[in-house]
Structure 1
């Protein structure tokens, strides 16, 4: 057991202190955004919005995310990732506190759009910073550490948020969210100031290639958008399937979803470190991850045995653990060809688009055709995703750009 624990700890070695600080800042920021999981409850219970109005608010949320990711990329290339991250975090904190004072449908839609526009400027800037603070051979593991921080933050946030609602009401969420963003800002200024932080991979490109003219990157973005759409079903339509078809209780559903986070926390870093030392290319690993994810839907139609839910969750989790870190590392590596902010903005936008369409599409498919047909359709989308990734791999091979490491 001691040897196993020692080997696990060793998988984290070699990462720079700046990457660890960035992970801590991300953890504080993501744990702080505890308003988001309770947003629909707040809108319906406190503001008496209809479900249709809540749907429009969530659309404004997604559109703000797309706009913020794009703007964050542009600003990162113009003024640098540090200034964008500081201004985004600080402004988001102030805006979260102000959001509680908006109580009409139109004002809340505008407010949530502006907040997401400002908040998601942070994402492409953070990825560029992560690339700068990581040695080339450590980029995938650095991304994995950030993913662990995000998962821990999203796990802790709802639990703390529920406690705050119980003791302080919904308004307490907005105050705590705001102050945690400000706390993350102070920490960022303290530890990642360019005068103190050590850059390990500074990319200076005198003739940057536009991401908008990079055919391979657009193929990649299309595949990631499809992957995001099918992946998000596990957090929208899948819980309904557990409840309505397999009659699981809320506690059992929570345990099943918690299995995802538990396996990511325990296995993702060792798995990524092992895969980095294999002969497989990043596109090849993305293909494998996407294949496991699409199979996780198809197995649900094979049997009514409740144990298949665990099998499906494990397949999806392993697929996610492989596809996300290596797709992120691929995007950062590709970004060296041009303006890094522009590249990473488009990468984050692909998942924002998945959020806009994924939840709604899945719920409408279930309502119109049922769960079994929906899983087949998700499997088909997954197959298209895998086909695009295979085409990407062959295209890069023909251009002698197939990244081995």
Structure 2
């Protein structure tokens, strides 16, 4: 067993060594997440499936995608509350099982209203996996190792997502319906793996130990009445909105404004993915002693700088530099945002608190790309990139007012 005094030294010499302290249950959760995300190709090919295979218009495809977004907004806090009541692991299993069931139904229906219903239900049950997953990690990993655990979880997600669309591209050669079947099968494979683990016992023991420490010092209150949580959610939102704006703005800027070929869009996002896969865990291991407030601020600043510099970037090297800077911001910001919330949440309500993080995530995904495209169309790309920088700095200013973790957990305002 490595002593606490030696941990920082080892992490500086070999940051990947920090993964050795992860419990077996954390590896099980990460592997199940990877399996599930490796089959996640539904959203990637949904618009093409509706327009090319089913013959619907782009407008109708937009309605279906909007239905998914609206359904996902309701999932976070609601499923988080259910996870607190029935356990995180059972909710993760149920989410995967129901997702598989809904996906298997898609090939049997081509009526527009039924596709809307299935898409809405799928968004609700599939997006419910994330808050339960984050809450489970909070329960089974020691507080000092949580940031690294959240980084490992993001590594599993990004590895899976890098494989899913590639597999989907081959499957649609044979039949578009294979997208739904394969996605459903990977959900079943992930839940089968979770059934073979002993996570429930470990989760219960860790939660009981945490509750015995915090029950008397953390008052029971509804998350909706926790001003610290509401403030934190508002502080996170500007940076996450900027993060997700890149889904529309980067491609529009690169192709429409600069006239670069479409494949370069893939190159930019490949830079982002490869950095997350190979650097996020070592970075968070090396910075594990930093306070979350400092990490959130540094991550937000780098995000703002990366997006802001796009306003002055017109060549391939400078565009890649912008993507590198904002990706460093993402890698520092995202694990810290989950860890800060894990520290803030009472042990009996971690699921619901993580549900609020999922809510921020989904709202930002809903607003960011649309707002970015609207600003680019109405005010020009340079003003849009500058607005991204300003919005990120607003988020940083709000987060800098946050109190330190132990003060947030031990005191209620």
State if a TM-score over 0.5 links the two structures: yes
Question: Equivalent residues in 2 for 1:382-401 (5 A)?
Answer: 382-391=392-401, 393=402, 396=403, 400-401=407-408
Q: Is the 8 A contact 2:73 2:362 kept in 1?
A: yes
Among candidates 289, 293, 296, match of residue 306 of structure 2: 296
Tell me which residue corresponds to 1:267: 279
**Which residue is equivalent to 1:40?**
47
Runs of 4+ with deviation above 4 angstroms = 195-199
> Equivalent residue for 2:220?
208
Shift of 1:70: 2.3
Q: Answer whether contact 1:294 1:383 (CA < 8 A) is retained.
A: yes
Shift of 1:132: 1.4
CA distance in 2, matches of 1:402, 1:242: 44
Aligned: 1:310 with 2:317: no
Task: Give deviations 1:137-174, integer Å, cap 9, x for gaps.
Answer: 111111010000000011000001101111x2110111
Name the CA distance, whole Å, in 2 between partners of 1:399 and 1:143: 19
Q: Does 1:238 align with 2:273?
A: no
Q: Indicate if the aligned counterparts of 1:209 and 1:338 stay in contact, CA closer than 8 A.
A: no
For residues 121 and 335 of structure 1, the distance between their equivalents in structure 2, rounded to whole angstroms, comes to 18
1:390, CA displacement in angstroms?
A: 1.8
Contact 2:340–2:405, Cα closer than 8 Å, also in 1: no
Tell me how far 1:398 sits from its aligned partner.
12
**Which position in structure 2 is the counterpart of 1:65?**
72
Moved more, 305-314 or 330-339: 330-339
* Equivalent residue number for residue 186 of structure 1: 192
Mean Cα deviation higher: 64-73 or 207-216: 207-216
Q: How far apart, CA to CA, are the structure 1 residues paired with 2:123 and 2:71?
A: 5
Aligned to 2:6: none
Residues in 2 aligned to 1:304 and 1:120: alpha-carbon distance in whole angstroms: 37
Q: How does 1:349-360 map to 2 (within 5 A)?
A: 349-360=359-370
Query: 2:279 and 2:320 mapped to 1: Cα distance?
Result: 17
Q: CA RMSD in A?
A: 2.3
Return closer, same or farther for 1:233/1:335 CA change in 2, 3 Å cut-off. same
Q: Scaled by the length of structure 2, what TM-score is found? A: 0.90
- Structure 1: 5+ residue runs without aligned partners? none
Q: Which of 364, 376, 382 is 1:366 aligned to?
A: 376
What displacement does 1:192 show?
A: 3.7
234-243 or 324-333, which deviates more: 234-243
Contact 1:68 1:121 in 2 (8 A): yes
The aligned counterpart of 2:5 is none
For residue 339 of structure 1, give the secondary structure of its aligned residue in structure 2: helix
Q: Is contact 2:172-2:178 (8 Å) kept?
A: yes
Q: Report the CA distance between 1:79 and its aligned residue.
A: 1.1
With the length of structure 1 as denominator, give the TM-score of the two structures: 0.91
- Indicate how the Cα distance of structure 1 residues 164 and 147 shifts in structure 2: closer, same or farther if over 3 A, else same: same
Q: Distance in 2 between matches of 1:256 and 1:43?
A: 27
* Residue deviations 1:110-152 (CA, integer Å, cap 9, x gap): 2111011111221111111111110111111110100000000
Deviation at 1:374, TM superposition (A): 1.3
Q: How does 1:251-262 map to 2 (within 5 A)?
A: 251-262=263-274
How far does residue 200 in structure 1 lie from its aligned partner after superposition?
A: 3.8
Whether the 8 Å CA contact 1:93–1:177 is kept in 2: the answer is yes
Aligned length: 395
Name the CA distance, whole Å, in 2 between partners of 1:314 and 1:197. 37
Higher mean C-alpha displacement, 290-299 vs 217-226: 217-226
> Aligned partners of 1:196, 1:42: CA distance in 2, in Å?
42
1:72 deviates by 1.0
Maintained 8 Å contact 1:84/1:122: yes
